[in-house]
Structure 1
Amino acid sequence: SALVRRAGSGTGTLDLKILNSKDVPADHVLLLKFHTDDSTNVRADYYELIDSSNGKRLISKGTDLLGAGTGQIGAGLLPIVYTPETTWVDHGASAFRSGNSTNVKLSASYQYVEPNNRFRTGYPVSFTITFGNSYIDTSLNGIGAKLRSRPVKYRVVGHEASGDIQLKTFLYDDDNDSTLSSPAEYMDVVSYLPGSRAPRVTWRIRLDTTGQYLRGPVVLPRNGDIYDAVVRVPFGEGDVFAFTTISERLDNTLAKQQFSNDPYVVPNPYVGFASFEPERFGVTGRGIRRMEFRGLPANCTVRIFAVNGDLVQTLRHDGSTEGMVPWDLRTKDNLEIAPGLYIFHVESELGTKMGKFAVIK
């Protein structure tokens, strides 16, 4: 079944590749859980695959998180996991709320004062900036007159899982109007390391007038305008996905449809050798010859006849889903066949099919 999120809010893509259908259990609920090696890490360091139906750990430490398809295999399945390497503000999802008076956009870029992958108070969380016409907060004191502490006409609130928290800022105020009013100015949203009172600059917010000519003369954010910044995080500790397995089975209806296409022989004609024959290491003489009957239904019998009607060999294809049976070009008496034209007859519960192939010296 489809992967369903059980917990967490990390971003990425998940897929499952079946490498061995015989090993896939029937109707088991498997859990894909993400973990970190360090509790301060935002991004997962590995995942595990657990069969919740019996508690068995199928994959203990899958570390391919970039979708390369080089991870471990469990229960015949290869998880294809991709998750971004960094946290970022999704500008496609972030915007001023509908009905706001401003016609500008904001940009938000991460400032690498601390590693992007490090948890701290106020990071990584989505946040809201509320603009006002009067003072509603106070900025932190920075270096230089344009970064000094001052009353400001905006407020920033972070949305943590435990509840909203007010986020402090530095304001680079070029015209001393206590808000963002030109692309040259910026607001630095800060976060705090555990046990520290030193602010760490995290997000730099600027007015973004790119394409402003399409929106008309600049109308700055003012009283009641609210900007929602959506922060995306990679898969991390606590992200859990579940899916129910479907075991290998034979679909008789589909098998009948596929059997309507004639089985065939590869190579045809057989001229001296086939590219998939075993390498001749430590073997004297010609070595093992091989051709394959393909497009076969499960549980069928392949009979090979000479053109005069003599039975040359009988092959059995069991209940596997591979749809192929090999032949070493030997008779039922274990003699090498002679060059010539041969007839094959495929018989199964779905019906019968006939074909021919040639062996050329």
Structure 2
Amino acid sequence: MEIVQVCPRYYPYMGGVEKHVREISSKLVEKGFRIKIFATDPYIKSKYTEENIDGILVKKFKSYAFQDTIYFSYPLLRALKKTRADIVHAHGYRALPMLEAALAKDTNKAKFIVTTHLGFSKMGKWLYKIYNPIFGKLILTKAEKIIIVSPVELEELPILKSFKEKLAIIPIGIKIPQIDMKQKLIKKNKLTLIYVGRIEKRKGIGLLVELMKKLDPGKFQLIIVGSGPYRNKLIQKIRENKLDNLSYKGKISDKELQKLLFNSELFISLSEYESHSVALTEAMSYGVVPIVTDVGGNKHIIDSSSGFLVRYPVNVDEIAKTLNLLSNQREIIRLKALKARKTVAEKYGIHKIVEQISTIYENAVINR
């Protein structure tokens, strides 16, 4: 069975959608599926490029990009119309490649599957009031199956409720690392907090700086990992406040991130919205206890036994108070770390997720 995965961007650009597509694709190949990746790239000069990544053919098509969110590519649309794949699986409702895949369906005759990946959009909600009833309805009508990554997406996109018979909730899967939890949980003098994600204002990066100003550098350190438009502002704030207990690492390799997660006790994110945070579940898989806002899908991932949900809008003083208590109650961290890792292993292991996706593919082809 041949599957074309369609996503806005692809490796080495690695947002949450792109990482998900790469992970499931490599596992699907192991199960015997023939996979191709169709993505866009606003920086290439030719109509498209081809390369082999993880043993998979990846075609990137020249596109026009708006705010690094919306990608329109006419070469991609033409390629989708010509494909003879059994299934076209498009990812990212709020990026135009999914719409292009829907428009190509009547020509290529492939079964059309979508995974919405709603998350946060830089586009104003007013624009989606136009997009949803016209283009969104077209996408969802043409889809054989609609995969949402969290129940919260039903609230975020009410039009989904009109397509309940097509819906499947399949969260984003992650690899569960093999780590020595006894070694990890050895008590250290300082508690290490880590944030991994986009460096932008709506992710609460400024709040993290304010938080570290209130914490004793001898007891706490924060490591921030990622890139984004708030990067220069973050560096400026660190310098202005002379925060020796806050380290900005920027974009790092997977191996470096794995090492940082293993050596961190607490994952912190004060974001204004999350649909399904891969950074959160990956941190939990390393036994890193989450402290996250009670927004979007976060409350579907953790509870009081595996982490801390912080009410949004955030009260930085309250978080500082909680952290100071935790520095003297390490047993709480140990118990939550074990529970966090167990929760993720049971619910979000990549093999379990790929089994569910492959079943959807097989059923779609049977009904072809």
**TM-score, length basis structure 2:** 0.24
Higher relative CO (CA 8 A, sep ≥ 6), structure 1 or 2?
1
The structure that has the greater radius of gyration is 1
More helix by share: 2
More strand by share: 1
**TM-score, length basis structure 1:** 0.24
